[in-house]
Structure 1
Amino acid sequence: MEHTLTTLPAARRPGCPFDPPEELIQAREHGPISRYIFPDGHEGWLVTGYDLVRSVLADSRFSSRKELMRHHPLIDYGDIEVPPAPPGEFLLMDDPRHSRYRKPLVGKFTVRRMRLLTERVEQVTAEHLDAMGEAGPSADLVTAFARPIPSVIICELLGVPYEDRGFFQEHIDKFLGGEAGDEELFAAYTATQQYLAELVAAKRANPTDDVLSDLTDTDLTDEELRGVALILLAAGFDTTANMLALGTFALLRNPEQLAALRADPGLADGAVEELLRYLSVAKQFQRVALEDVELGGRTVKAGATVILSYNTANRDPERFADPHALDLRRQDGGHLAFGHGIHQCLGQQLARVEMRVALPALLARFPTLRLAVPAEEVPLRPEIADIYGVKSLPVTWDV
Structure 2
Amino acid sequence: MRSQEPVKRVRTIGGGTAWLVTRHEDVRRVLSDPRMSSDRTMPGFPSLVPGRRAIVAENKQAMIGMDGQEHAEARRAVIGEFTVRRINRMRPRIQEIVDECVDRMLAAGGPVDLVRELSLPVPSLVICELLGVPYSDHDFFQSRSALMISRSTPPERRRDVVLELRRYLDELVAEKVREPADDLLGRQVAQQSEKGEVDREGLVSLAFLLLIAGHETTANMISLGTLALLDNPDQLARITEDPARTPAAVEELLRYFSIVDGATSRTALADIEIGGVLIREGEGVVAVGLSANRDPEAFDSPDELDLDRQARNHVAFGFGAHQCLGQNLARVELQIVFDTLFRRIPGLRLADGLDGIRFKDDALVYGAHEMSVTW
Could you tell me the TM-score, scaled by structure 2's length? 0.92
Contact 1:48–1:309 under 8 Å retained in 2: yes
1:338 maps to which residue? 317
Give the whole-Å Cα distance in 2 for the aligned partners of 1:41 and 1:127.
Answer: 45
Give the whole-Å Cα distance in 2 for the aligned partners of 1:51 and 1:108.
Answer: 30
Aligned amino acid, residue 106 of structure 2: G
Distance verdict in 2 for CA 1:77–1:186, change over 3 Å: closer
Contact 2:46–2:266 under 8 Å retained in 1: no
1:45 aligns with 2:30: no
Q: 1:302 aligns with which of 241, 258, 281?
A: 281
1:375 maps to which residue? 354
Contact 2:38–2:67 under 8 Å retained in 1: yes
Give the whole-Å Cα distance in 2 for the aligned partners of 1:206 and 1:74.
Answer: 39
CA deviation map 1:192-240 (0-9, x unaligned): 1221111111111111110000111233411111111111101111100
Q: What is the deviation of 1:31?
A: 4.5
2:67 maps to which residue? 94
Aligned amino acid, residue 292 of structure 2: A
Contact 1:88–1:101 under 8 Å retained in 2: no
> Secondary structure at the residue paired with 2:317?
coil
Q: What is the deviation of 1:84?
A: 4.4
Give the whole-Å Cα distance in 2 for the aligned partners of 1:310 and 1:395.
Answer: 29
CA deviation map 1:361-392 (0-9, x unaligned): 11111111111112133101124x22110001
Q: How does 1:95-174 map to 2 (within 5 A)?
A: 95-174=68-147
Q: 1:68 aligns with which of 39, 42, 50?
A: 42
Aligned amino acid, residue 146 of structure 2: D
1:237 maps to which residue? 215
Q: 2:269 aligns with which of 280, 290, 293?
A: 290
Structure 1: state its 5+ residue gaps: 1-26
Distance verdict in 2 for CA 1:265–1:93, change over 3 Å: same
> Secondary structure at the residue paired with 2:41?
helix
Moved more, 43-52 or 108-117: 43-52
Q: What is the deviation of 1:90?
A: 1.8
Structure 2: state its 5+ residue gaps: 193-197
Give the whole-Å Cα distance in 1 for the aligned partners of 2:360 and 2:166.
Answer: 25
Give the whole-Å Cα distance in 2 for the aligned partners of 1:319 and 1:229.
Answer: 35
2:195 maps to which residue? none
Aligned residue pairs: how many? 369
Q: 2:2 aligns with which of 13, 19, 28?
A: 28
1:328 aligns with 2:301: no
Contact 1:277–1:337 under 8 Å retained in 2: yes
Give the whole-Å Cα distance in 1 for the aligned partners of 2:370 and 2:65.
Answer: 30
Aligned amino acid, residue 357 of structure 1: I
Give the whole-Å Cα distance in 1 for the aligned partners of 2:169 and 2:252.
Answer: 35
Q: What is the deviation of 1:29?
A: 2.0
Moved more, 299-308 or 34-43: 34-43
Give the 4+ runs in structure 1 shifted more than 4 A.
37-43, 69-78, 80-85
Over the aligned positions, Cα root-mean-square deviation in angstroms equals 2.1
Give the whole-Å Cα distance in 2 for the aligned partners of 1:343 and 1:233.
Answer: 17
Give the whole-Å Cα distance in 1 for the aligned partners of 2:260 and 2:50.
Answer: 22
Q: What is the deviation of 1:315?
A: 0.6
Aligned amino acid, residue 270 of structure 1: A
Contact 1:178–1:382 under 8 Å retained in 2: no
Could you tell me the TM-score, scaled by structure 1's length? 0.87
Q: 1:250 aligns with which of 228, 246, 256?
A: 228
Give the whole-Å Cα distance in 2 for the aligned partners of 1:225 and 1:209.
Answer: 15
Using the aligned pairs only, state the percent identity: 40
